[in-house]
Amino acid sequence: MDFPFSLRKIIHVDMDAFYASVEQHDNPALRGKAIAVGGGYRGVVSAASYEARKYGVRSAMPSKTAKEKCPHLIFVPTRFARYKEISKQIREIFYEYTDLVEPLSLDEAYLDVTENKKEIESANQIAKEIRQKIFDKTGLTASAGISINKFLAKVASDINKPNGQKTIHPEKVEAFLEELPVEKFYGVGKVTANKMFSLGMYKGKDIKKRSIEDLTRMFGKSGSYYYNVVRGIHLSEVKPHRIQKSVAVERTFFEDLFDQQQIDEKLQNLSEELHTRLQKNNILGRTLTLKIKYKDFSLYTRSFTKDEYFSTVEEFYNTGKKLWELRPFDKAVRLLGLSVSHLNTEEKKQISVQLKIPFEEFQEGIN
């Protein structure tokens, strides 16, 4: 397959059931057991161990549903300070090999190792070393995907989970994508996958048969994305300086709230917490968004944008109250949240580096 662009060596590293694995590592009594991090009464699961996933327990699942699927499920409180501590250790390992690291979250990141600090030709070997160092330093396992772009590396990292890795060689990209089930394409959710099924598209080769005009008509702006990635084209670079676009705080309540005084108290608490978090990171924002999740799980958001940055707890609280008054329903509330966007961080220039390497060199170097 001839690529109309210079090839790169991209690794996607993804920790295995990170939050749950941290809890099992720190508390040996939890090892081998079905656990859910977060959740509990009225909450939502933040992460599930592999033992719990066998029963269908997933992140973002209501705790009640998770318990129904796995009656012996153990709920463990979240410890974000601990997860951040370990995440920092993992990133330090990444930077031993390259400065082109793009964190996606605490537990996953893209690395561009086309040129790397240790001058190791094989990206596959780099991924092996990184995974071994993570295990030696933290006791946790990671999986990795290696290929010519971020899309393929992301897809590949999920293939041999947990504690494995997968390389998609340049000469095998076309065949791999043609046989890849559409639901495995990164960016294709359940709804889109079902729509593709209804249109007779089950694998990459089925998408590939469609013109860019057809795909755009069927899927809007995403159509051109599908047209390109099925051909191995994904030009997004690894961005080492990702710009934070929002800061949010939210709370799920043990009992549904309906009383106005309770709502006011929660908005005040959220305003104070949001202000503290922003101050700690020297962040300011111009848009405040109120998020409401009702008892029936319906979701409502409303935003207000100022010409100047929000700067005080009172501004957050007063604006939050005004947004609350615009709500369309008087129903019991399950969750409240406040978030700030249009941040001052977006004004900072982002430095990106594009590295090129001849196809022949890449073909020999990646294993």
- 144, 159 in Cβ contact below 8 A? no
For helices 260-280 and 313-325, angle between their N-to-C axes, nearest 10 degrees:
140
List all residues 6 or more positions away from 119 whose beta carbon is below 8 Å from its beta carbon: none
Assigned domain for 95 exists: no
Assigned domain for 57 exists: yes
Q: Is residue 367 predicted with pLDDT exceeding 50?
A: no
Within this chain, do residues 286 and 327 fall inside the same structural domain, yes or no?
yes
For 320-335, what is the mean pLDDT? 91
For 300-306, what is the mean pLDDT? 93
Assigned domain for 40 exists: yes
For 335-358, what is the mean pLDDT? 62
We report the CATH number of the domain holding residue 50 as 3.40.1170.60
For 335-339, what is the mean pLDDT? 94
Count of Cβ atoms closer than 10 Å to residue 84 Cβ: 11
- Using one digit for the tens of pLDDT, what is the confidence trace for 39-92? 776 678 989 999 999 999 998 888 999 999 999 999 999 999 999 999 999 999
Q: Which among 47, 64, 79 is the end of a domain?
A: 79
For 243-253, what is the mean pLDDT? 84
Q: How many CA atoms lie within 13 A of 213 on its CB side?
A: 0
Within this chain, do residues 252 and 198 fall inside the same structural domain, yes or no?
no
Amino acid at 322: K
Assigned domain for 280 exists: yes
- 335, 257 in Cβ contact below 8 A? no
Assigned domain for 110 exists: no
Within this chain, do residues 260 and 314 fall inside the same structural domain, yes or no?
yes
Q: Is residue 361 predicted with pLDDT exceeding 90?
A: no
Within this chain, do residues 337 and 263 fall inside the same structural domain, yes or no?
yes
Within this chain, do residues 197 and 288 fall inside the same structural domain, yes or no?
no
Within this chain, do residues 210 and 270 fall inside the same structural domain, yes or no?
no
Task: Provide the domain limits for residue 285.
Answer: 246-347
We report the CATH number of the domain holding residue 291 as 3.30.1490.100
Split at pLDDT 50, 70, 90, the class of 3 is low
Question: Which is catalytic among the residues 23, 102, 108, 174?
Answer: 108
Within this chain, do residues 199 and 274 fall inside the same structural domain, yes or no?
no
Within this chain, do residues 338 and 274 fall inside the same structural domain, yes or no?
yes
Q: Is residue 171 predicted with pLDDT exceeding 60?
A: yes
Assigned domain for 216 exists: yes
Within this chain, do residues 216 and 252 fall inside the same structural domain, yes or no?
no
Within this chain, do residues 277 and 325 fall inside the same structural domain, yes or no?
yes
Confidence (pTM): 0.71
Residue recorded with tokens 């161990």: 49
Assigned domain for 187 exists: yes
- Using one digit for the tens of pLDDT, what is the confidence trace for 122-133? 999 999 999 999
4, exposed or middle or buried, with CB in 10 Å at 0-12, 13-18, 19+?
exposed
- Using one digit for the tens of pLDDT, what is the confidence trace for 175-217? 999 999 999 998 898 899 999 999 999 999 999 999 999 999 9
Active site residue 129: no
CA distance 312 to 297: 31
- Under DSSP, the state recorded for 127 is H
For 150-172, what is the mean pLDDT? 96
Q: Which of 181, 185, 177 is nearest to 231 (CA)?
A: 177
We report the CATH number of the domain holding residue 213 as 1.10.150.20
> Which value, in Å, is the radius of gyration of the alpha carbons in the chain?
23
Assigned domain for 330 exists: yes
- Using one digit for the tens of pLDDT, what is the confidence trace for 123-160? 999 999 999 999 999 999 999 999 999 999 999 999 99
The number of folded domains in the chain is 3
